[in-house]
A = this chain, B = another copy of it.
Amino acid sequence: MKVALLCIGDELLKGSTVNTNLAFIGERLLRIGIIPELSLEIPDRRDSILKALDYAYSKADTVITSGGLGPTSDDITKDSIAEYFGLPLERNEQIEAHLTAWWQKLHPGPTPLHWNRQACFPAGADIIPNRFGSAPGIHLEQNGKTIFMLPGPPAELHPMFEEGMLELIRNKRKEPVYASLTHVVGIGESIVEERTQPLLHDGVSVAYCASPGHVKLFFTSKNEALLNETTNRAKQIFAGDILSEGVSTLPEEVLHLLENRKCTLATAESCTGGMISAQLTAIPGSSAVFLGGAATYSNELKQLFLGVSETTLSKFGAVSRECAKEMVEGICARTGADAGISVTGIAGPSGGTSDKPVGRVYIGIKFQSTTRIFECNFRGGREQVRNQTVSRALNELRKLLLEREP
């Protein structure tokens, strides 16, 4: 089974929308052992869609499209695909009634012009419900070619793909393929690869998907027992550096471990300016654990909110081991949090000295009576330094939490 993606929409080519759907679908397909042959971004134009379908089917048997299913005149994905397969578009009355009711529940007045175009589908297509928007998804099999059509907005595409389509794609395979996903954190991709190598043998494939401080390790196999054995051995090798079952990010893991221990968290950030607290609070329910944080950019705020001493600031400077320590101890003492994170450093591009170059960051973590300070020297620009700081800080706290039984 070979898959190609077709992302349809002018906004993708004009730079107004970053194509996050590609990364989302790519990662989900990797979980079942599929890497797409290619992805195409094209404008909402009939001729572009027809040519792109030709090209996609020259490399794949299954095409997944996103975008262009809505009611407006530039939504021409269905029309073009029906034309490509030589099929008429047919109105589905049940969907039409549902769409009218959906509109009326949310808005006063009649449905907009062309609203019911969303109830038309290529003859013979299966309809996939959209729980978070109006345009349904579509699954069509024709002349040995498979096509899945998804709406463009990520809030609609993600659940539709995950709840229905992934299973359909998995089942289209002649033989079942089993897959596992293990999240390894705090270890570089090349080291994860090196340590995984001895586990590999015939019948098991591996793939890696790396972002700063986080490597996703995917195994796939046609043999379920073999897959489980390999996955379990990987979990032993990386024990202590993997996320808990059901958790997929570092901020989630930190909140999860703290919740298990019935403990609270607070943060004190200088060079990351609130990135850690922003990432923690992006997670629904974080308020059960996270009390809040202080983005103490100026020295005065480090004194005011965290009680960092003037002596420390004048003797060692704001970017120092001593300041990181007072920051993390200060935020815990003032808020009463059981755990704390502090960050102070030089993110660049200016502000570095020969003694403390750009990329020098001190991270403090505290849990109950233990405080640890880390001196880090990150490489890259301001954004990279800040991103690396966030993952390192969260990972160090994670490791400290694991030393204590829940």
Contacts and interface: CB of A to CB of B under 8 A. Distances in A.
Interface stretch (A88-96, A113-121, A139-147, A295-303): A295-303
A107 to B, nearest CB: 12
Contacts of A350: 284-285
Interface in A241-285: 266-267, 269, 271-278, 280-282, 284-285
A350 B19 CA distance: 28
B42 A13 contact: no
A35 B285 CA distance: 42
A23 B216 CA distance: 25
In this complex, the interface size class of chain A, counting residues with CB under 8 Å from chain B, is: 35 or more
A43 interface: yes
Contacts of A58: 51
A285 B348 CA distance: 9
A335 interface: yes
Interface in A1-45: 10-20, 22-30, 35-43
Contacts of A207: 14
Nearest to A210: B16
A59 interface: yes
A15 B41 contact: no
Contacts of A275: 274, 278
A258 to B, nearest CB: 14
A297 B290 contact: yes
Contacts of A209: 11, 14-16
A18 B16 contact: no
Contacts of A266: 301
Interface string A182-225: 00000000000000000000000001111100001000000000
Interface stretch (A76-84, A231-239, A368-376, A379-387): A379-387
B293 A274 contact: yes
A26 B12 contact: yes
Nearest to A155: B381
A227 B27 CA distance: 44
A53 interface: no
Given A39-B41, A304-B334, A277 B273 contact: yes
Which 9 A-B pairs give the minimum distances between C-beta atoms?
A: A273-B281, A274-B274, A15-B27, A15-B26, A274-B277, A16-B209, A292-B301, A277-B295, A274-B278
Given A15-B29, A15-B209, A291-B301, 4 more contacts: A12-B23, A37-B42, A38-B43, A55-B55
6 contacts: A11-B209, A155-B380, A273-B290, A274-B276, A291-B300, A300-B335
